[in-house]
Amino acid sequence: MPLLDNKTCIITGGAGSLGLAAAKLFLDEGANVALIDLSMQALEQAAKDLPKDRVELIAADVSRATDAALYVGRTVGRFGPLDVLFSNAGNFGRVAPIHDYPEDVFDRVLEVHVKGAFLAAKHAVPQMNDGGSIIITSSVAGMRGDAGVYAYITAKHAQVGLMRCLAKELASRRIRVNTIHPGPIDNAFQLHVEKGLGEAIGGDGTEFFNARIPLGRHGTPEEIARSVLYLASDQSSFVTGTTLMVDGGMSV
Ligand SMILES: NC(=O)c1ccc[n+]([C@@H]2O[C@H](COP(=O)([O-])OP(=O)(O)OC[C@H]3O[C@@H](n4cnc5c(N)ncnc54)[C@H](O)[C@@H]3O)[C@@H](O)[C@H]2O)c1
């Protein structure tokens, strides 16, 4: 029996690398999937090979309450009550010393990761079946500090607090809530981070990270998607309130 047979799933950041990898795996396991992202054009491009009868594309900004109400409502209207919310949309912001860190960048990064995950849960939970699963994409950056990465690291830590509150509140409905913490992934999002880092340290940003990962390499989007599937499905039926590191040992 497929792991997500006929389940209704929302994936935010669905046009991006990790969101799309999770969508493919969820669909392989029998789910109906709503992909949420900022641009319809990006969503259509990402979803061009996905089965249209089981995929809904919704352009929305996760940091806006009206958009959260809209994407939850449309998903439930098409596929029925929710079973899985994968709250995954993200932006990186900037690296700068504290006295120079732009306030507007700080605000926007927190809006997307923290307010976005809060609003997703606020609107999704009343429409979710008992026994559902919420997964929030934090990061290895949600477990450690690094100079200059003020907005992103603060946001990724805050998501853990949100997850823990939700896990306690929703346990009585058997809704499980967890964060997943990817290490550096071989994709455009991370490459952008590493280019900036490389310029700052005058070296190779990718090698800088590999030297700090015990398994000695970046992860793949598919490796993260498999861990998301574990948390989304009944395979993890006794797992809630946890911070699942999928980082090649980087946080050890
Ligand atoms: N790539 C990595 O190495 C890595 C490591 C750890 C954690 N993460 C986290 O994984 C998640 C997915 O990142 P990714 O690597 O797939 O990057 P990505 O850039 O490919 O995907 C992120 C998606 O989120 C969307 N998005 C941004 N702001 C949004 C908003 N306001 N509303 C709706 N959608 C919005 C973007 O348009 C993009 O499609 C992010 O939360 C990121 O912080 C990534």
Structural domain contains residue 66: yes
Structural domain contains residue 144: yes
Q: Is the CB of 63 under 6 A from ligand 1?
A: yes
Structural domain contains residue 40: yes
CA nearest to 10, candidates 66, 108, 109, 89: 89
Q: Which residue has its alpha carbon closest to ligand 1 atom 27?
A: 90
Q: What is the pLDDT of residue 199?
A: 83
Structural domain contains residue 206: no
- Count of domains for the chain: 1
Q: What is the pLDDT along the chain (252 residues), one digit of tens a residue?
A: 899 999 999 999 999 999 999 999 999 999 999 999 999 999 999 999 999 999 999 999 999 999 999 999 999 999 999 999 999 999 999 999 999 999 999 999 999 999 999 999 999 999 999 999 999 999 999 999 989 999 999 999 999 999 999 999 999 999 999 999 999 999 999 999 898 888 878 889 899 999 999 999 999 999 999 999 999 999 999 999 999 999 999 999
Q: What is the pLDDT of residue 197?
A: 83
Residues linked to residue 58 through DSSP beta bridges, in sequence order: 36
Q: What is the CATH number of the domain that holds 51?
A: 3.40.50.720
For the chain, how many residues are written?
252
Q: Is the CB of 162 under 6 A from ligand 1?
A: no
Indicate the angle between helix axes 116-124 and 65-79, nearest 10 degrees: 40
Q: Is the CB of 248 under 6 A from ligand 1?
A: no
Please report the atom of ligand 1 found closest to the CA of residue 112: 31
Structural domain contains residue 73: yes
Structural domain contains residue 136: yes
How many CB atoms are located within 10 Å of the residue 111 CB? 18
**Which residues fall within 8 angstroms of residue 80, CB to CB, at 6 or more apart?**
8
The boundaries of the domain holding residue 57 are 8-184+220-246
Helix (H, G, I), strand (E, B) or coil at 45: helix
Q: What is the pLDDT of residue 196?
A: 82
Q: Is the CB of 223 under 6 A from ligand 1?
A: no
Tell me the C-alpha distance between 37 and 59, whole Å.
5
Q: Is the CB of 246 under 6 A from ligand 1?
A: no
**Cα-to-centroid distance, 18 and ligand 1 (Å):** 7
Helix (H, G, I), strand (E, B) or coil at 222: helix
**Which spans in the chain are helix H?**
17-28, 40-46, 65-79, 103-110, 116-124, 150-170, 188-201, 205-210, 221-232
Structural domain contains residue 153: yes
Structural domain contains residue 225: yes
Q: Which residues of 236-251 are buried (b: 16+ CB within 10 A; e: fewer)?
A: beeebbbbbbbbbebb
**Cα-to-centroid distance, 122 and ligand 1 (Å):** 20
**pTM of the predicted protein model:** 0.98
**Ligand 1 pocket check: which of 113, 144, 189 to mutate, most ligand atoms within 8 Å of Cβ?**
189
Q: Which residue has its alpha carbon closest to ligand 1 atom 32?
A: 61
Q: Is the CB of 17 under 6 A from ligand 1?
A: yes
Q: What share of the chain is helix, strand, coil (3-state, %, to 5)?
A: 50, 20, 30
Tell me the C-alpha distance between 93 and 140, whole Å.
16
Tell me the C-alpha distance between 81 and 151, whole Å.
34
Is 150 known to be catalytic?
no
